[in-house]
Amino acid sequence: MNQAAPQLPVSLAANPRLSSWVRFSDEGQVTLSPGKVEIGQGIVTALAQIAADELDVDIGRVKMVRASTAGSPNEGVTSGSLSIQQSGRAIRQACAEIRRIFLAAAADRLGVDANALEIDDGMISGPGNVQTSYWELADEISLDRDATLEAAPKAAAKRALAGQSVRRLDIPDKVFARRRFIHDYALPAMLHGRVLRPERSGATLTGLNEDGAHAVAGLVTVVRDGSFAGVVSETEEGAETALRALRKGATWSAREALPDENDLAAFLKAQPVESTIIDTRISSNTSDKLRTIRRQYTRPYIAHASIGPSCAIAQWNGDRLQVWTHSQGVYLLRADLALVLKIPVENITVEHMEGAGCYGHNAADDVALDAVLLAKAAGGRPVRVQWSRADEMTHAPFGAAMAIEIEADLDAQNEIVNWRHSIWSNGHAARPGRAAQPALLAAYELENPFPRMISTNPPQANGGGGDRNSIPLYDFPAWRIESHRLLTMPVRTSALRTLGAQGNVFAIESFLDEIATERGEDPIEFRLRHLRDDRAKDVIRATARRASWKPEKKPGTGYGIGFARYKNTGAYCAVVAEVEGEQDIRVKRLTLAVDVGEAINPDGVINQIEGGAIQATSWVLKERVRFDHEHITSSSWTDYPILRFSEVPQVVVELIQRVEIEPVGAGEAAHGPVTAAIANAVFDCLGVRIRNLPITRDSLIAAMELSS
């Protein structure tokens, strides 16, 4: 058998210069520069662990540098649960190479064989008490050289920190309120800006009386370029007041109508689409088909709804521009800014600062362009722009609504002999920096506007978009998976945590449950019988064991199972949900088992799984972007409620640690399985199949009426 030649990890192949990742500073520190960013997932700690392990230094010496286009490796976007996989592997390899380079130099200097040297917290020592250190040698060793693959990382058993629940490096700053968020950052002479957004998204600004805004104390300027308008003020309150005055002086034209929020499936299926066959499996024997059953599932548009609204700071210096942002991709944002401004990327520096929790492509990039456009009129002073809660809830991209239809051909024993899965949805990605046109909101509003980007889907090789997790992991003899991507986009959509996986896993796992029930077979046994992957079976068995599957049936209580391997290549996750209720469903407990391969920071993985499970519960029980024919109407927490403390289920997570298997991310593993498990538990509890999310009192009544 041919063994594939070893290759550099993808991020290191793209950024092979070792000095771009690691530097040794005089103060006995190791400076680590990942291209991935902290978005609330704890990545900086896990990456520091990996570096400290490979270099044999105390983790306290590792200083994490925020990503900046001024010098960080370009790792694209922090998304898709890929940071451990991409940045982690690159850092592990880079540090292994650096360690080897230093050991060779130390051997030269100390006159001993490199194999006889040991490293302990950066001190390199050998026989006869000879000693030096990374920092002593740093002056004479240039890391301005490319990774070569000549050194191999340590064996798993030799790592001291990987697999340890090291405490997160950023948490003390956050509980002691040190200024870590971009929202709390202030530059000398900083001004404050606000942008006027239409109540009707995409409407054209036809008239603007600026007098009221000019009368507000502290106003620096009003900026207008086509339908883009905003104010710049000496103070934040001044900017707010001026914006209110400007809004009074604005008139807007109408725009295309929004769909019927109560019949999303009909809307999605009536639009022009681009259709793609995602996968087919052909069986020689489908002749046993006795009957076909078909089910349709939907999920609504879902908002990112971070607790902190998007914020950015921009400052011009002649034709040079500096931007501070909580974007997921500093290089990608820079590329789009260059497109809009028609200046070379070299003139722009984009630096990351932490924002509130990020669950995908939110308004972080949009507000950065807002700040850049307002700062143009600020005479070289920095301008900070923060969106309002209402703008965050109505103008940021949403996770796309989906309609999913599955047909199963069953034989005389109700075994599945063929499976057809069709998806209708807008694309799940319209991220900046990847196209010839920008993906930034204000770019569509300018006097000379760029065309509105219609969201697309990443290819299956990258995990897919609307089709993510649509290919079954089960061994059905035949299937055909098809994705219909909408070519219209009246409601703006882009990447939200899991992309299409939440909808597809909900559909597949609900339908399987239904077929198992029809067969009178235990749903866990049914799944295990159709799986060939031992890691998949292990997480299902682990959660079943932990949840004492299946607990004795009590009135008003139900139990359900859900399973998926995220993107079919990432983390395995199985969950048992326990729900109770009659008119209102309450999720009482979620018991999950997860396998991410090598868990670098087990508590970090568990924290991500817990958080994902709770967020998914919120999506399932509460969330739905609301709109009438003209407006997005869910513009506040009252109109877009999310799960509260008293509604949060108990969450139990069992982690299956596999140190010998390359690690993958955990941030998106739970959403699909939790969604399905809750829906299946609702059926167990009430005997009603909910196929349209969210599961609310209204949707329960609608489903009961349909089934009666």
Partner 1 sequence: MPSIRFRLNGVETDVDADPDGSLLDILRGPLGLTGPHFGCGSGECGACHVIIGDRAVASCDTPLWSVANKDVTTIEGLGSAERPHPLQRAFIAEQALQCGYCVSGILMSAAALLMQNPQPTDAEVRSALDRNLCRCGSHNRMVRAVLRAAAEMAPQ
**Residue numbers of the site for partner 1 (CB under 8 A)?**
39-42, 165, 167-168, 170-172, 174-177, 179-181, 183-184, 235-237, 305-309, 354-359, 386, 388-389, 603, 607-608, 610-615, 618, 636-638, 642-646, 648, 650-651
What is the smallest separation between the CB atom of 92 and partner 1, expressed in angstroms? 23
- 424/503 Cα distance (integer angstroms): 11
What is the smallest separation between the CB atom of 344 and partner 1, expressed in angstroms? 34
What is the smallest separation between the CB atom of 57 and partner 1, expressed in angstroms? 23
Length of the chain measured in residues:
708
The DSSP bridge pattern shows strands 586-595 and 205-208 to be unpaired
What is the smallest separation between the CB atom of 70 and partner 1, expressed in angstroms? 25
Residue in the structure block whose two tokens are 């866990």: 524
Burial 584-609 (b: 16+ CB within 10 A, else e): ebebbbbbbbbbbbbbbbbbbbbbbb
Please check whether residue 293 is in contact with residue 614, taking contact to mean a CB–CB distance below 8 angstroms.
no
Q: Given the complex with partner 1, which of 184 and 660 has the nearer CB atom?
A: 184
Burial 659-694 (b: 16+ CB within 10 A, else e): eeeebbbbbbbbbbbbbbbbbbbbbbbbebbbbbbb
Please check whether residue 309 is in contact with residue 388, taking contact to mean a CB–CB distance below 8 angstroms.
yes
What is the smallest separation between the CB atom of 571 and partner 1, expressed in angstroms? 16
- 503/522 Cα distance (integer angstroms): 23
Residue in the structure block whose two tokens are 């700071």: 313
In one letter, which amino acid is 126?
G
What is the smallest separation between the CB atom of 420 and partner 1, expressed in angstroms? 34
Q: Given the complex with partner 1, which of 393 and 408 has the nearer CB atom?
A: 393
**CA within 13 Å, CB half, 362:** 30
What is the smallest separation between the CB atom of 144 and partner 1, expressed in angstroms? 35
Q: Given the complex with partner 1, which of 92 and 304 has the nearer CB atom?
A: 304
- 117/110 Cα distance (integer angstroms): 10
Maximum CA extent, the chain:
86
Token code pair at residue 375 = 């700062």
What is the smallest separation between the CB atom of 667 and partner 1, expressed in angstroms? 10
Q: Given the complex with partner 1, which of 300 and 611 has the nearer CB atom?
A: 611
Q: Given the complex with partner 1, which of 522 and 610 has the nearer CB atom?
A: 610
What is the smallest separation between the CB atom of 616 and partner 1, expressed in angstroms? 8
Q: Given the complex with partner 1, which of 407 and 580 has the nearer CB atom?
A: 580
Q: Given the complex with partner 1, which of 177 and 461 has the nearer CB atom?
A: 177
Q: Given the complex with partner 1, which of 469 and 607 has the nearer CB atom?
A: 607
Q: Given the complex with partner 1, which of 403 and 651 has the nearer CB atom?
A: 651
What is the smallest separation between the CB atom of 325 and partner 1, expressed in angstroms? 15
What is the smallest separation between the CB atom of 49 and partner 1, expressed in angstroms? 14
Please check whether residue 310 is in contact with residue 364, taking contact to mean a CB–CB distance below 8 angstroms.
yes
What is the smallest separation between the CB atom of 194 and partner 1, expressed in angstroms? 12
Q: Given the complex with partner 1, which of 583 and 645 has the nearer CB atom?
A: 645
Calculate the dihedral angle through the C-alpha atoms of 560, 406, 428, 585, rounding to the nearest 10 degrees.
-30
Burial 173-188 (b: 16+ CB within 10 A, else e): eeeeeeebbbbebeee
User: Would you list the DSSP string of 421-484?
Assistant: EEEEE--SB--TTSSSS---GGGGTSSSPPPPPPPB---GGGT-STTTT-S-SS--S-EEEEEE
- 310/365 Cα distance (integer angstroms): 9
- 595/577 Cα distance (integer angstroms): 18
Q: Given the complex with partner 1, which of 203 and 312 has the nearer CB atom?
A: 312
Q: Given the complex with partner 1, which of 337 and 596 has the nearer CB atom?
A: 596
The number of angstroms, rounded, from the C-alpha of 560 to the middle of its chain's C-alpha atoms is 26
Helix (H, G, I), strand (E, B) or coil at 409: strand
